[in-house]
Every structure is written in structure tokens, then in C-alpha cells.
Structure 1
Amino acid sequence: FKFGSLPLPALGPANFEKSYCEPHRNFPVHSRSSFIDCYFRSKEHSVNCTAMADIRPNHTIYINNLNEKTKKDELKKALYAIFSQFGQIIDIMAFKTLRMRGQAHVIFKEISSATNALRAMQGFPFYDKPMRIQFAREDSDVIAKAKGTYVDRPKKHLLAKQAAGEKRKKPVPSRESKKARVDKPAQNRPAAPAVEKVNPPNKILFCTNLPEETTEQMLSLLFNPYPGLKDIRRIPNRPDIAFVEFESEGEATVARNALNNFKITPSQVMHVNYANK
């Protein structure tokens, strides 16, 4: 085997090194391949591939049953040393979180390299534990980006953590604060929004809250699109109000429904009601 620059004892038990690695260290490539085939046909390291049959070959192999006591950096270097013989490795991912401990992903540039690595290294005694290898269920992000098939995944765990944090931050009202709200004097409570009083319908509309610069021509532009416009009357010294008359009550209602609360300026809203009879 070609183990790179790492010392062999770091990759497995000493008895494996003596009984398998040393006698075959200088074998030609084809002999080493034959040795690998024979080695993994043995009963002790036979593999049931039925569980992997439904996962298509891809660039990434998933390895588990790794020694959980191995440091992350040491693990990645050792994995690179034993898997680089099968082809170019793009990345090795190993994590030390409780959920991902004892697992790793090795991403190859070529699918054929991943396939050969899976077949050859299945059950290999690595840090005193036989590796269990299968193809990853989907392409790694780096491969997906290279293929142009990458889709950003929602980070569910981050969203859940954020939601939990917000929930914790929200103060729980105490019994005293609830009682204080109940006993709060009416004058201190926020007033309910005033309900606009609508006069009985008629054919004359009463416009209020007009800007001082509003002219009759401006009002004409607003109301002219609505059928039946008859007259617009302004009140001397009251630029904020106007009366708009239509031919019929129905036509006045159409215009009122359309223009009530219309923003004449970005900060000023026109109110349109029926005039008092």
C-alpha cells in the first residue's frame, strides 16, 4: 500500500502492519490490487453491499465507524494518506460534533476514483476499527457548484436556534404585571382609533384636510375622471376644505369610494365624506 508520509502504526494496529503491509510494501501496483481483492474477499472483512445498492456512485464517499478519539486534523491527514492512491482528492470533511463524530466524507475529482476507493478500502482496519464505506447520498456542495447544480439549502438548525433564542428573550409577564394591566386607569390606556362618521349619501361630497396649496384645478384633475362631475366649490379663507357636486347620488358615491383617504401629498391624506343635507 502507498500510505504517504505518515507512519504506518498511526493507520492501524501493529499486527496488521507486520502481517499485511510490510510483506507487500514493494509490490507492483497490479500485485497490490490483487492483494487488496484477496484480502477483502476473506470472511472476516466481507461486505454486504445490499444496503448500498440504491445509492448511485458519485464523487463522494461516506465513511463511518471511525475511531472517535482521533483528533480531527490527524484523522484528515491519515484519510488523505490512504485514499490519495486512488485519485485526486478535492476535499476531506470530518467533524468533531457529537452527532458527526466517527464519520467523514472524502470527495474525489473523478467518480471512478471514489468507486475504486470504496471497493478497495471497505473494512480496512483504521485506528483499530474497520471502516464502513458507502457513496454519499448526494453530491457535495463543491461538486454541485462545479456542475452548476448547486442549490442553497435552508439552514434549519440555525433557524430553529434563532427561533428558540427569540422565544427565550421574550419576557414572561409576572402575575403582578398582569394585575397592573387590569387595574390600569382608563385615562392612561391608549385611545381606540376614532371611527370615521359617514353622513347619509347624497350627491354633494365634502372634502377636508386639503393642503393649503390645493387649487380648484387640482381638485378638478382628481374628480374629472369620475362621471357626473357638476361643480367644485371652494370656501373663502378655508383652503383646507371643498365641496364637490355630482349629477346623482350614485355617481358621488363612486367618486367618494375611490378618493377617500387619497394621498394628495406624501404626508397629507384627503378625507371625503358626504355633505350634510
Structure 2
Amino acid sequence: MAEAMAVDEGHSSLPNPGHTIYCNNLPEKISQDDLKKAMRAIFGQFGPIMDVVSRRTYRLRGQAWVVFEKAEDAKRALELMQGFPFKDKPMRIALAKTKSDAVAKLDGTFKERPKAARPAKEKPAAEAKKAKVEAAAGAAPAAAAATAPATSNHILFVENLPDSANEAMVGMLFQQFAGFKEVRMVPSRPGIAFVEYSDEVQAGLALQGLQGFKLATDKPMSITFAKA
């Protein structure tokens, strides 16, 4: 895997890249969105994350780069999460050999890469795609408001967890959100848990952030406010 670690994908070849960890042996069939969401959920507990980089190309499947704001957070994540089971595969983690663009921009060493010019005939299609994305983004808040539960609570009810899930595994996901207090599993009913936050607002943010996340299973988590 040494060759893979040296790949420069979205990174600039500058020294002292200690803010970024390189993860491999990740599930290859997971979507890019789910993978990035999972990386933020797993590593967000160690400190603010500036960026998560992954690629769908055959050569880079099962790999990701996680960029922390602070180098010490990256080092701590590497030390404590080495071998963490993600979808039944132990992650292999190392410090990346290149500095990410996000860090280069922060310290003033970033150099813009020249972009290849697109043929004129592609511009209308690209503009149409951009307009479609913007329209969807504008509709999302309204749709979320329309489907939001009528009654909120500071405790979340989580379903569709893998039978092997325990309090530590579930807590690792939910404690990245402010106000996290505890996870309570139900021994007689595998696959469900209650997650408590300090207030309803914080619980709502966690619900939105992790709704549909897949934890070591192909079934997306279902999260609702616990009934009062």
C-alpha cells in the first residue's frame, strides 16, 4: 500500500503534511457520499475536519484522506483509531505524505492548478446541470421542513442498527454533535438505541446529520425523536 499512500489526489506536494491522515482498506462498494459522511462521523470526535477527499476511480477505491485543522488532532486520530472496524474491515491509517489543498490555502502555500478548457459545446449542458443542482438545493430546506416531526425531543430513537452494535460504537457516531450525553441500548431488542442530548435543538442537528447513515450494514439508520 505504500504506493497508494504517495498518490497525489487533490493534494499539493509540499512538506509537513501532518494535518492529513490517509485511510485505506475501506469498503469499496459504499457510495462516495456515504463514505465521506462516515469519515466525518468517525473522526469528527478528534477535532474540526477541514475536508474529506476520496475518489471513485478503480485505482483509489477503498481509500480516503481526512484533513484536520490541527496536526495534533490528526496524530491522535491515527493512534486511537488504527484498526477500527468499519463495515467489518479494519481501517489502516497513516499520516499522508502530501499536504492537502485545504491546509495549503490556510498557510498561504497553495498554488492554483491550471484547469483544462472545456469545449464550447459542453457549456450549455454544464450550465443546465448547475441550474438543476441549485434548484434542488433551494428546495431541500422546504422539503425538510415539510417532513420534520411535529414533536421534537432531546432524546432520539435509533433503529436499523446492526445486531452487533454496542454503546461505544453508536456513541462514537453521535458524540460528534454538541450536547451529546449518552447512548442507551435495549438488550432485549438488538438493533435499536436511545441517544440523549442536552436539548431538543442539539438532538435535531444530530438527527439531520446522521439520518440514513449506514453503520456496518447495508440498512440505513432510521432516526426519530423519542415519544415523550
TM-score, normalisation: structure 1: 0.35
Q: In terms of Rg, which structure is larger?
A: 1
Q: Which of structures 1 and 2 has the larger relative contact order (alpha carbons within 8 angstroms, sep 6+)?
A: 2
